[in-house]
């Protein structure tokens, strides 16, 4: 399997908002991003077991801080300034919006459980807290965040989720001589690719930013996810002429019609 292929955990992090990171960078972050939800879950669990609403109020404050301050979650700060140095681990970046939204929802659920304890409704409090702990356990073990998944679904339904450009735009770019880049791994590329595509695996893309800075670039992969990440990487560097055209299957017939020369897997400058 290619090193550039996203694992389920990496795709889940992508869904949480970590969309401008390479697979290697996501892999470095996988364990560190478990720290904060794990600590918060332990505090919630302790509050539920002891029926102490003030512990639940305290952990809810952490969630509110995370929502309003992307780089201000106390547990993230603890990890970045202390814990990660014990393991020589990567520094956690500021939390993207989807992850902050999940922190906010956890804060609200902790408050609800705390209030239920104050009103002498322990069973209801345990139910709310138990649901929260299950959701957090899923995040800790797989990085799959239910709220991030729901957020993506809502944005897709509203037509506000970033999607590949329309095929008519792809056709226009073809006529304009845009470069077609396959960001899958070399082994995937060898098994089949779009005509005239060059292969630059996602991991290696930063090495070509300067080389392609003044060119229009069309990016694709197997599903459209890695090409989306690649487009984000280009735009993060200030290069606006990069376009996510989605999956190979989506564009196969279009590019077959535009095939004019043998495919190459080497970037040619000029």
Q: How confident is the model at residue 141 (pLDDT cuts 50, 70, 90)?
A: very high
Say whether pLDDT at 261 is over 50: no
The H or E element spanning position 180 is strand 179-182
CA-closest candidate to residue 102, choices 127, 77, 132, 74: 132
Q: For the chain, which residues make up each domain, given as ranges?
A: 31-157, 167-257
249-252-253 Cα angle (round to 5): 130
For 46-86, the pLDDT digits (tens) are 999 999 999 999 999 999 999 999 999 999 999 999 999 99
Q: Which residue has the higher pLDDT, 119 or 165?
A: 119
The Cα 109–Cα 116 span in angstroms is 11
For range 130-152, the mean pLDDT: 95
Q: How far apart are CA 211 and CA 269, in angstroms?
A: 7
According to the model, what pLDDT value does residue 229 have? 86
Residue 90, pLDDT > 70, answer yes
Report whether pLDDT(159) > 80: no
Q: Under a CB-based contact definition with an 8 Å cutoff, are residues 200 and 182 in contact? A: yes
In sign, the C-alpha dihedral spanning 22, 180, 200, 234 is negative
Q: Which residues contact 181 (CB under 8 A, 6 or more apart)?
A: 197, 198, 199, 200, 217, 218, 219, 220, 230
> Which pLDDT band holds residue 123 (cuts at 50, 70, 90)?
very high
Question: What is the per-residue pLDDT for 116?
Answer: 98
Cα atoms found within 13 Å of the Cα of residue 126, Cβ hemisphere only: 7
268 confidence band (pLDDT: 50, 70, 90): very low
List the helix and strand counts (H, then E) for the chain.
13, 4
pTM: 0.72
d(CA 239, CA 262): 28
pLDDT band at 161 (very low <50, low <70, confident <90, very high): low
Q: Helix axis angle, 225-236 relative to 8-15, nearest 10°?
A: 50
Both structure tokens of 132: 């929260």
**The CATH number fitting domain 167-257, selected from 3.90.1150.10, 1.10.10.60, 3.40.50.2000, 3.40.250.10:** 3.40.250.10
What is the Cα–Cα distance from 28 to 8, expressed in whole angstroms? 15
Average pLDDT over residues 235-264: 77
Q: Does the structure show a pLDDT above 80 at 212?
A: yes
Average pLDDT, the chain: 88
Q: How confident is the model at residue 5 (pLDDT cuts 50, 70, 90)?
A: low
């Amino acid at each position: 399997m290619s090193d550039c292929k996203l694992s389920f955990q990496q795709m889940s992090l992508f869904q949480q908002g970590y969309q401008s990171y390479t697979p290697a960078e996501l892999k470095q972050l996988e364990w560190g991003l478990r720290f904060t939800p794990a600590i918060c879950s332990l505090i919630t669990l302790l509050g539920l077991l002891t029926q102490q609403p003030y512990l639940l109020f305290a952990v809810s404050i952490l969630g509110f801080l995370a929502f309003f301050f992307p780089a201000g979650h106390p547990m993230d700060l603890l990890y970045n300034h202390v814990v990660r140095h014990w393991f020589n681990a990567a520094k956690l970046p500021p939390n993207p919006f989807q992850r902050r939204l999940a922190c906010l929802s956890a804060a609200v659920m902790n408050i609800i459980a705390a209030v239920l304890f104050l009103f002498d409704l322990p069973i209801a409090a345990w139910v709310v807290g138990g649901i929260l702990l299950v959701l957090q356990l899923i995040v800790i073990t797989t990085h799959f965040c239910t709220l991030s998944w729901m957020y993506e679904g809502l944005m897709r339904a509203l037509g506000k989720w970033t999607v590949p450009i329309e095929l008519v735009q792809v056709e226009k770019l073809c006529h304009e001589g845009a470069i077609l880049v396959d960001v899958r791994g070399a082994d995937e590329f060898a098994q089949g690719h779009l005509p005239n595509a060059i292969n630059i695996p996602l991991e290696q893309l930063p090495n070509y930013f300067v080389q392609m800075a003044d060119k229009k670039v069309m990016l694709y992969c197997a599903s459209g996810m890695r090409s989306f990440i690649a487009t984000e990487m280009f735009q993060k560097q200030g290069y606006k002429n990069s376009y996510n055209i989605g999956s190979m299957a989506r564009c196969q017939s279009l590019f077959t019609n535009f095939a004019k020369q043998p495919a190459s897997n080497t970037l040619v400058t000029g």
